[in-house]
A = this chain, B = another copy of it.
Amino acid sequence: MAILNENFLKLKAGYLFPEISRRIKVFKQNHADADVISMGIGDVTQPLPTAITEAMKKAVAELGTSNGFHGYGPERGYDFLANLIVQHDYKSRGVDIETTEVFISDGAKCDTANIQEIFGLENTVAVADPVYPVYVDTNVMAGRTGPSDENGRYGKIVYMPCTAENDFSPELPTQQVDLIYLCFPNNPTGAVVSKETLARWVEYAREHKAVILFDAAYEAFITEDDIPHSIYEVQGAKEVAIEFRSYSKSAGFTGVRCGYCVVPRQLKAYTKDGQAIDLNSIWNRRQGTKFNGASYISQAGAAATYSDAGKKQIQENIDIYMKNAGLIRKTLSELGYEVHGGVNAPYIWLKTPNEMTSWDFFDVLLNKAHVVGTPGAGFGAAGEGYFRLTAFPQPNNVEEALRRIAKL
């Protein structure tokens, strides 16, 4: 008899975004004419820069020729892209990463979801709360957690509350944890941390032989000078951290699919009897066995993000989004909302008014303003009472959404 992986039955109903889609669908069935503005799912809206489309058209054309045809690429990605990553994303910030430490993939969601596979089920996982649900749900599926309680918190997971009181920067755990998911600039709160704060995490991980899974998918949105873009800017981090990067939000690749992670050669995990094992080779084996490389076309497009024209055009799009973020912050503050984030991240994290629950505020916003956001509770128990708005819509839609919210 084929037995189910019963861990799937522990998952709470519906991943956050499908549930939002369902509510929008119901609303639209009853309000066919309503012009719904989405500030919910963190999806970009600006068209791809021409430097990127030109590079991808060229890649497609190559594939149509005998000499330019590319079949299977390296599972870990092409060196032409990995070399650019090493140079532009790391060396430019004083960080030495080797090409063989870079693993190119079809996106940071897949990488942050799959990375837990190389670790044993006995590890204690720590996550921020609120948190990007993928970190938690993939550990639930793997069997690293108990069932969920009435607040939606799963057994065995160590939740690290992030609230206005701690500036949305979690405290170091007071107990032993083994795998620590950190995301800065943060999704959903938009918070960032200083190099000194990151250094304390690296120190904790070194002391406890823990591994930090550092999601830097939003680093391109950092506007303040002294905020680290990579955890490897902290001395010693290569011994304890895997870093995830994405072209999705910075370069508009949500539909193109390309990202990467860095697994440094110094990074180890341990067998139960204490033998240190190099994780770069384990992840390489995982990717070589279960993945066949990102699309050649997507990798060619990603390479173009590092050209002078590509960089300039990407920055123009980021500026549009961050101008949205500034406007959302300013307008909502003036309306009396308590507003966080939006300075070094494309997410604005606001306190729901009048102690409303976040799903109630979702329904009010959808039904009264025809604006979709993301309920904080969808990101975890500590997200209750908060609400995420993204800065990714077209500017005219942001302005219109803010006008409607002002009328509420």
Contacts and interface: CB of A to CB of B under 8 A. Distances in A.
A2 B125 CA distance: 10
Nearest to A289: B137
A113 interface: yes
A135 B69 CA distance: 28
A298 interface: yes
B286 A141 contact: yes
A257 B64 contact: no
A282 B10 CA distance: 12
Interface stretch (A270-278, A349-357, A398-406): A270-278
B56 A270 contact: no
B63 A1 contact: no
Query: Interface extent on A, as a size class?
Result: 35 or more
Given A106-B295, A297-B256, A15 B69 contact: no
A118 B6 contact: no
A134 B43 contact: no
User: Chain copies in the assembly?
Assistant: 2
A153 interface: no
A24 interface: no
Nearest to A42: B72
B209 A2 contact: yes
B63 A256 contact: yes
Contacts of A47: 63-66, 68-69
A293 B43 CA distance: 14
B257 A292 contact: yes
A125 to B, nearest CB: 10
Interface of A: 1-6, 8-9, 11, 15, 18, 41, 43-50, 52-53, 56-57, 60-61, 63-66, 68-73, 106-107, 109-110, 113-114, 117-123, 133-134, 137-138, 141, 176, 178-179, 208-211, 252, 254-257, 268-272, 277, 279, 282, 285-286, 288-298, 394
